[in-house]
Amino acid sequence: MQPYDVSTNPLNTVEWLFAAMECTHIAALALSIGTIAIVDMSLLGMGIKGRSPAQLLRATETWTVAGLILVITAGLALFSSDPLRYYYSPTFRWKMWIMLAGIVFNYTIHRKVALANSSPPISKAAGAVSLALWLSVIFCGLFFAFTAGGY
């Protein structure tokens, strides 16, 4: 088997492709985290007038899945541009674990709480945890870019 050579990856040879992939990653982030945040805000009591968290979840869930697929696909492409650098970065590993926690939380507790239209203490806690998880993913992603000088 041929060893994988990053210098042949189009992301490293086509000048604008890496930046274009980053743009896709960021736009898809607005779609995935943005739609989850609409439900979170609703759980926190700052939602869309006359719509329950359950109704908002139902109305946005397809967009969330589409956004997650797009953001992760673009993310994997970015990862392929220099896998070892990402793999050995503690910040990147944090990002992956928190993202995993975010996805699991989103499709278990968060979903249950939103669909049950739970009472304020529980719904507010679920909304806050969800927002905190996803914002942590973004912060890790960004800090990775600033701390990734060496392995």
Partner 1 sequence: MSIATLSHAIQSSGIFTAMRQSEVFYPTVLATHLSCIAIFGGMILMTNLRLLGLALRNTPASVVIASTRNPKRIGFVIMIACGILLAGSHLDKYYPNPYFQLKLALLALTGIHGLIFHRGVYYNADLGKDGKLPLVAIVAGATSLVLWLSILICGRWIAYYDDPNAIARLFRALTHLV
Q: Does 51 interact with partner 1 (rule: CB under 8 A)? A: yes
Interface with partner 1 (CB under 8 A), residue from 4, 13, 45, 46: 46
Number of residues that bind partner 1 (CB under 8 A): 37
Label each residue of 32-85 as H, E or C: HHHHHHHHHHHHCCCCCCCCCHHHHHHHHHHHHHHHHHHHHHHHHHHHHCCHHH
Q: Does 132 interact with partner 1 (rule: CB under 8 A)? A: no
Q: Does 14 interact with partner 1 (rule: CB under 8 A)? A: yes
| Nearest alpha carbon to residue 33 among 66, 76, 74 | 66
Burial 17-28 (b: 16+ CB within 10 A, else e): ebeebeebbeeb
Q: Does 33 interact with partner 1 (rule: CB under 8 A)? A: yes
Residue 77 half-sphere exposure, CB side, CA atoms within 13 Å? 18
Q: Does 127 interact with partner 1 (rule: CB under 8 A)? A: no
Q: Does 7 interact with partner 1 (rule: CB under 8 A)? A: no
Which residue ranges make up the site for partner 1 (CB under 8 A)?
14-16, 19, 22-23, 26-27, 29-31, 33-35, 37-38, 41, 46-51, 55, 59-60, 63, 131, 134-135, 138-139, 141-143, 145-146
